[in-house]
Structure 1
Amino acid sequence: MVYGKWNKGKSEWSLSYDVNGYKSKGSKSSQLAEYTLTDGSIYTIERNDVESLRKSIAHDVKLTYNWADTTATVFQTSLSGAFNDAPDDYNIKEIADGARRYRATSRDADKSYSPVLDIYFFRQITPRQSVTANAVGTYISTQTNNYYDEGNPYRYDVDGKTASLLAEIIYENRLKPFTLSAGGNYSYKHIKNDYSGDASSLTKTSNNRLYAFAEIKGTMRKLRYTLGAGASYIHYTQNGHRYDFQTFHPKVSLTYDINNSMQLSYTCQMQDKVSRIAMTSDVMVRTNSMEWTAGNPDLKPSHDMDHRLQFSYNTSRLQTFVEGYYKQCLKPNMAHYERTADNQFIYTQKNQKEIDVLNVMAYAGYWILPEKLQVAANGGVSRCFNFGNDYTHCYTSWFYACSITAYLGNITLQGYADNGNRFLEGESKGYNAAYSVLKASYTWRNWQFSLSWANPLNNNYKAYENELLNRNLYKHTVGYSKGNGNQVSLNVSWRLSRGSKHNSAEKRISLSDADNGIL
Structure 2
Amino acid sequence: MKRLFFMPLLATMIAVHAQDIKEGEMLHEVTVKGSKVVQRVDGQTIYPTRQQLESSPNGYSLLSKLTLPHLRIDPVMHTITALSNLGSVQVRINDIVASKEDLLSLDMKAIQQIDYIDNPGVRYGEGIAYVINIIVKRPVSGYDIGADLTNTLTAVNGDETVYGKFNYGKSEFGVNYSLDYRNFKGSEYEETATYELESGTAYNVLRQQLEGQNKNLDHKIQLTYSLSDSNYVFQSKLSARRDIQPNRLFSRFEGYEDLSSSRTSSPVLDLYFHHDFGAHQSLTANAVGTYIKTDSHAEHNEGGSYAYDVTGKTYSLWTEAVYENRLKPFTLSLGTQYGQKYINNAYSGDADASNAMRSSMLYFFGQLKGRLGKLAYMGGLGVSSRYYRQGQWNDRFLLFRPKMTLAYPLARSLKIKYDFEVSQHVSQIALVSDVSIKQNAMETLVGNPEITPNRVTSHDLRLTYSTPRIMSELQGYWRLNANCNLEKYYRTDDHFYQTQTNADNECSFFYIQSENRWEAIPEHLSLTLYGGIDRFFNFTDTYRHTYTAFNGGASAEAYLGKWTLTAYADNGWNFMEGEHRGHQAAAWYLTASYQLKNITLSLYAQHPLCSNPLSHQTEVLSRYIHKEVSQHSRDLGNMLTFNLTWHLSSGRKYRDIQRTMNHRDTETGILQGK
TM-score (norm: length of structure 2) = 0.74
**2:393 & 2:326 partners in 1: Cα distance?**
45
Taking a change above 3 Å as real, the CA distance of residues 53 and 386 of structure 1, as seen in their structure-2 partners, is same
**2:657 & 2:342 partners in 1: Cα distance?**
33
Q: State yes or no: 1:20 paired with 2:171.
A: no
**2:597 & 2:640 partners in 1: Cα distance?**
25
**Counterpart for residue 268 of structure 2:** 116
Flag structure 2 segments of 5+ consecutive residues without an equivalent: 1-160
**2:252 & 2:316 partners in 1: Cα distance?**
39
**Counterpart for residue 199 of structure 2:** 39
Conserved? CA contact 2:565–2:593, under 8 Å: yes
Task: Pick one of 235, 240, 251 that aligns with 1:81.
Answer: 240
**1:45 & 1:94 partners in 2: Cα distance?**
12
Taking a change above 3 Å as real, the CA distance of residues 431 and 276 of structure 1, as seen in their structure-2 partners, is same
> Could you report, residue by residue, the CA deviation over 1:300-338 in whole angstroms, capped at 9, with x for unpaired residues?
001111221111111111111111111111111100111
Deviates more, 1:140-149 or 1:507-516: 507-516
**Counterpart for residue 25 of structure 2:** none
Secondary structure of 1:360's aligned partner:
strand
Task: Pick one of 345, 348, 354 that aligns with 1:202.
Answer: 354
**1:267 & 1:483 partners in 2: Cα distance?**
42
**1:416 & 1:51 partners in 2: Cα distance?**
31
**Counterpart for residue 408 of structure 1:** 560
Conserved? CA contact 2:235–2:660, under 8 Å: no
**1:405 & 1:477 partners in 2: Cα distance?**
35
Q: State yes or no: 1:310 paired with 2:469.
A: no
Amino acid of the residue matched to residue 350 of structure 1? T
**Counterpart for residue 484 of structure 2:** 332
Conserved? CA contact 1:49–1:91, under 8 Å: no
Conserved? CA contact 2:459–2:478, under 8 Å: yes
**Bigger radius of gyration among the two:** 1
Amino acid of the residue matched to residue 86 of structure 1? Q
Task: Pick one of 363, 366, 369 that aligns with 1:214.
Answer: 366
Secondary structure of 1:313's aligned partner:
strand
Q: State yes or no: 1:294 paired with 2:446.
A: yes
C-alpha displacement of 1:504: 6.2
Map 1:261-300 onto structure 2 (within 5 A).
Answer: 261-300=413-452
**Counterpart for residue 98 of structure 1:** none
Q: State yes or no: 1:466 paired with 2:618.
A: yes
C-alpha displacement of 1:92: 3.6
Q: State yes or no: 1:423 paired with 2:575.
A: yes
> Could you report, residue by residue, the CA deviation over 1:90-118 in whole angstroms, capped at 9, with x for unpaired residues?
434434xxxxxxx2111111001000000
Q: State yes or no: 1:29 paired with 2:181.
A: no
**2:640 & 2:617 partners in 1: Cα distance?**
24
**Counterpart for residue 162 of structure 2:** 2
Secondary structure of 1:279's aligned partner:
helix
Conserved? CA contact 1:166–1:512, under 8 Å: no
The size of the alignment, in residue pairs, is 510
**2:169 & 2:400 partners in 1: Cα distance?**
46
Conserved? CA contact 1:134–1:510, under 8 Å: no
**Counterpart for residue 223 of structure 2:** 63
C-alpha displacement of 1:163: 0.3
**2:221 & 2:453 partners in 1: Cα distance?**
35
C-alpha displacement of 1:508: 8.3
C-alpha displacement of 1:135: 0.6
Taking a change above 3 Å as real, the CA distance of residues 368 and 502 of structure 1, as seen in their structure-2 partners, is closer
Task: Pick one of 512, 515, 522 that aligns with 1:370.
Answer: 522
**Counterpart for residue 335 of structure 2:** 183
Amino acid of the residue matched to residue 84 of structure 1? D
Secondary structure of 1:497's aligned partner:
strand
**1:430 & 1:274 partners in 2: Cα distance?**
21
Task: Pick one of 574, 586, 593 that aligns with 1:434.
Answer: 586
How much identity, in percent, do the aligned residues show? 38
**Counterpart for residue 124 of structure 2:** none
Conserved? CA contact 2:233–2:659, under 8 Å: no
Q: State yes or no: 1:482 paired with 2:630.
A: no
Secondary structure of 2:649's aligned partner:
coil
**1:251 & 1:508 partners in 2: Cα distance?**
28
C-alpha displacement of 1:89: 3.4
**2:616 & 2:271 partners in 1: Cα distance?**
40
C-alpha displacement of 1:475: 0.6
Conserved? CA contact 2:250–2:260, under 8 Å: no
Secondary structure of 2:527's aligned partner:
strand
**2:554 & 2:261 partners in 1: Cα distance?**
40
Conserved? CA contact 1:192–1:204, under 8 Å: yes
**1:325 & 1:114 partners in 2: Cα distance?**
38
What is the RMSD of the two structures over their aligned residues, measured on CA atoms?
A: 1.3
Flag structure 1 segments of 5+ consecutive residues without an equivalent: 96-102
Deviates more, 1:45-54 or 1:349-358: 349-358
C-alpha displacement of 1:501: 3.6
C-alpha displacement of 1:198: 0.4
C-alpha displacement of 1:503: 4.4
Amino acid of the residue matched to residue 167 of structure 2? N
**Counterpart for residue 253 of structure 2:** 94
**1:135 & 1:182 partners in 2: Cα distance?**
17
**2:220 & 2:661 partners in 1: Cα distance?**
21
Secondary structure of 2:278's aligned partner:
coil
Conserved? CA contact 2:187–2:633, under 8 Å: yes
**2:661 & 2:569 partners in 1: Cα distance?**
34
Conserved? CA contact 1:10–1:502, under 8 Å: no
**1:14 & 1:90 partners in 2: Cα distance?**
35
Which structure dedicates a bigger proportion of its chain to strand? 1
Amino acid of the residue matched to residue 540 of structure 2? G
Map 1:503-518 onto structure 2 (within 5 A).
Answer: 503=655, 505-507=657-659, 511-518=663-670
**Counterpart for residue 608 of structure 2:** 456
**Counterpart for residue 343 of structure 1:** 494
C-alpha displacement of 1:482: 0.7
Conserved? CA contact 1:211–1:233, under 8 Å: yes
**Counterpart for residue 48 of structure 2:** none
C-alpha displacement of 1:371: 1.4
Deviates more, 1:272-281 or 1:504-513: 504-513
**2:653 & 2:541 partners in 1: Cα distance?**
60
Conserved? CA contact 1:280–1:296, under 8 Å: yes
Secondary structure of 2:623's aligned partner:
coil
**1:272 & 1:187 partners in 2: Cα distance?**
16
C-alpha displacement of 1:506: 4.3
Map 1:121-140 onto structure 2 (within 5 A).
Answer: 121-140=273-292
C-alpha displacement of 1:507: 3.7
**Counterpart for residue 79 of structure 2:** none
Conserved? CA contact 1:134–1:509, under 8 Å: no
**1:391 & 1:46 partners in 2: Cα distance?**
25
**Counterpart for residue 18 of structure 2:** none
Map 1:353-364 onto structure 2 (within 5 A).
Answer: 353-364=505-516
Structure 1 runs (4+) deviating above 4 angstroms are: none
Secondary structure of 2:199's aligned partner:
coil
Q: Which protein has greater RCO, CA pairs closer than 8 Å, 6+ apart?
A: 2
**Counterpart for residue 11 of structure 1:** 171
> Could you report, residue by residue, the CA deviation over 1:38-92 in whole angstroms, capped at 9, with x for unpaired residues?
111111111000001111100110000011102x100000100010000123434
TM-score (norm: length of structure 1) = 0.96
**2:457 & 2:279 partners in 1: Cα distance?**
36
